[in-house]
Every structure is written in C-alpha cells, then in structure tokens.
Amino acid sequence: MSASRALEERIRAALAVIVDTTPVGNDLGDLQERANARSRSYRLSPLRTFAAAFVSVVLVGGLLLWLAPEGPSDSENIVLPAPSSASSLSEDGGGAPEPTGGDEEVEFVEARYEVALAGECAATNQGFPSATIRIWGPAADGNYRVELEYPDGSSESLVTDSLVNVEPRKIWYGKTGNQQIGDKLARSDCLDAGATSPNAAFERVVLLQAALLVSADNLVTADGASIADGLLEQEPTRVETVVDVPSNVYVFPGLRTQSIWLDPEARRVQKRATEVVDAAGATVVSETITVLARGRTRVESAWFDGSQLPLYSSTAGAGG
C-alpha cells in the first residue's frame, strides 16, 4: 500500500469514529429551547460553572447510587455481571454460544440477573422459581441474545438485532433452544390472565429490556468498563418514579421497572429511558434511548420508538 493510500485510510478511519459521535438531531421546534440554553450557558461565570459541575456530579452520583442494586428482594436479586469473552451465536438460535477467540472484533454488553419467577406462568419458567437472565451481544452475527438460564442448565433464548430497537429477529424457546416462540404461543398455554396480547413475545422483550435498564450500571463492555461511567457525563434533568409492574405480567411478575430520564436535549445523550409495563394495557413503554456498546467498545445511543411495537399500537399516544 502506498504511503498516500495508507494516510487516506487512516483519515477515513478516524473520521468514521468522529462521525459516529454525531448526536441525534432535534426537531425544528426544539431548536429555540436549545439555543436559549446555550446562550445561558455562555453567561456562566467560572465560579458558577464549577458550582454547576459540582451539583451535577452530586446529582448523577446520587442517581447512580439510587440505581444501584440493593440486594435480594422478593422480585429480583441482581447479580454482578461477569464479563466474559466474546461468543458467537449460531444462526438457528440453538445451542450454547461458541467462543470466537480473543482476536474477533466482537464486542458486547453483558448483564446477569437472578430473577424470581414465582408467577402464574409456571410452564414458562420451566417449573423453576427463578432463573438467571443473561443479556449479551452483539454476537458474531450482529444479534443480541437474551437467555433465561434455569437451575438445571436449560435455557430459553431470544435473539434480537438490538436490545433497544426491540424488533426481535428470532425468538427461540424451550429447553433445547430450537423451538420458535411463535409455536409456543400458538398453544396459548402460557399466557397469564393479564397478558392477552396475541404477541406476548414483544412483551417478553420489553420486560427483558426493563430488566436491563433496572441495572444498567451493571452493564459492562468487553474490556470490563462500566457503561454507567458514561452517565457521569450527563446531568439528569428528570427522574421518574419507580413503577411496580403488576404481578400478572407475563414472565416476570413483580419486576420493578424504573423510568430514568436524562435530558433528551443534552449534549451527550447517554441514556434516556422509561419502562412502564402493564399487561392490562393501562400503561405502556413509551420510548427508550439507552447505551449499547457497539463497534468494539464504542458506546452509542439508540432509539426505541413505541410505534415500533405493534403490540402497543393502541396506546401509541404514550410514545415520546
């Protein structure tokens, strides 16, 4: 390769990284507010700037402490994540992930939770009162995988191309991991009273996502860095209350979801999420932006729009 060609490639690679940090644009109507905020910020004196930074750190630190797992409870017992090597996922969704070796450019997020499953849907739980949820990805095929691992080592798996843009690519179910969840749902033998949706698979995904968000500070990148560290760059402007999911929600009764709103107009949107799930349809997921590790350990934000969930189309107005 010639020197000029090599330089050109280096430039393009560097520009790709820079461009990847481009924020999501606002609507025209939101620009005035942003401009006003900006002009205010320019008027900050150094002392005020320091004070604002100090308050921000305190607030965000408090938020992270508030988000931190508090140990075992009736609904969930969050276990610290165990960073592991990158793994590949067979396209048919079956079997255990296969290590791809340390040289693979596979990055992932991983979170583990111990979740009580003492619900009304014992069949879904494979008869076990609890399971470990393992959320990880992207795998070698670019998909994310959500697994419920039962005490006997069996598992359910869900394959999706994004944990945030919840459009499940494939959903696999069963101890062998080779049965599509659609087949399972067709038998309607595992729908709770409140989960009347014809496509509870989406609900399952949402709840898994909620589990992810509940303990987002347990998310780690491939090199073990906490994604929550990124939150320190963010000043929260609104923190919603914790919402208890009704006990009849599919799969994870009693799971508490937390709504975490960080300034959507902020300079770096590291995370903005609201997760409110009610199988009766009274409340729905509105929208979520969260942080994923993609492109090695690069952290990006991604959109999840309520309109992408056909299941909740009847309450699309709740979307942000």
Say whether residue 256 binds other proteins (CB under 8 A). no
Find the Cα–Cα–Cα–Cα dihedral 121, 305, 308, 114, rounded to 10°. Answer: -20
Say whether residue 53 binds other proteins (CB under 8 A). no
CB neighbours of 121 closer than 8 A, spacing ≥ 6? 190, 191, 192, 250, 251
- Alpha helix locations (H) across 110-235? 181-186, 200-214
Structure tokens at 128: 């076990």
The smaller minimum CB distance to other proteins, of residues 14 and 282, is found at 14
For 130-150, give one letter per residue: b (16+ CB within 10 A) or e. Answer: ebbbbbbbbbbeebbbbbbbb
Do residues 128 and 117 touch, judged by C-beta distance below 8 A? yes
Question: Which residue from 12, 40, 43, 187 is in contact with other proteins, where contact means CB under 8 A?
Answer: 12
Give backbone dihedrals phi and psi of 256, rounded to 5 degrees, phi first: -95, 130
Do residues 76 and 114 touch, judged by C-beta distance below 8 A? yes
Question: Which residue from 59, 79, 118, 225 is in contact with other proteins, where contact means CB under 8 A?
Answer: 225
Site for other proteins in 80-99 (CB under 8 A): none
Say whether residue 4 binds other proteins (CB under 8 A). yes
Say whether residue 302 binds other proteins (CB under 8 A). no
Site for other proteins in 168-197 (CB under 8 A): none
Say whether residue 224 binds other proteins (CB under 8 A). no
Question: Which residue from 114, 141, 149, 229 is in contact with other proteins, where contact means CB under 8 A?
Answer: 229
Say whether residue 57 binds other proteins (CB under 8 A). no
Question: Which residue from 69, 94, 174, 230 is in contact with other proteins, where contact means CB under 8 A?
Answer: 230
Site for other proteins in 258-277 (CB under 8 A): 265, 267-268
Q: How far is the CB of 225 from other proteins (least distance, A)?
A: 6
In angstroms, how far is the first alpha carbon of the chain from the final one?
Answer: 49
Residue span binding other proteins (CB under 8 A) among the ranges 6-14, 86-94, 114-122, 212-220: 6-14
Say whether residue 161 binds other proteins (CB under 8 A). no
Say whether residue 32 binds other proteins (CB under 8 A). yes
The smaller minimum CB distance to other proteins, of residues 169 and 268, is found at 268
Say whether residue 27 binds other proteins (CB under 8 A). yes
What radius of gyration do the chain's Cα atoms show? 21
Amino acid identity of residue 137, one-letter, is G
Residue span binding other proteins (CB under 8 A) among the ranges 86-94, 164-172, 197-205, 297-305: 297-305
Give dist(CA 7, CA 105) in Å, integer: 23
How many Cα atoms occupy the beta-carbon half-sphere of 125 within 13 Å?
21
DSSP 198: T
* Total chain residues near other proteins (CB under 8 A): 40
Question: Which residue from 91, 92, 189, 223 is in contact with other proteins, where contact means CB under 8 A?
Answer: 223
Residue 281 Ramachandran class (φ > 0 left, ψ -120 to 50 alpha, else beta): left
Say whether residue 296 binds other proteins (CB under 8 A). yes
Say whether residue 3 binds other proteins (CB under 8 A). yes
Say whether residue 31 binds other proteins (CB under 8 A). yes
Q: Which helix (H) or strand (E) holds 31?
A: helix 31-42
Residues that bind other proteins (CB under 8 A): 3-4, 7-8, 10-19, 21-23, 25-28, 31-32, 34-35, 38, 42, 221, 223, 225, 229-230, 233, 265, 267-268, 296-299
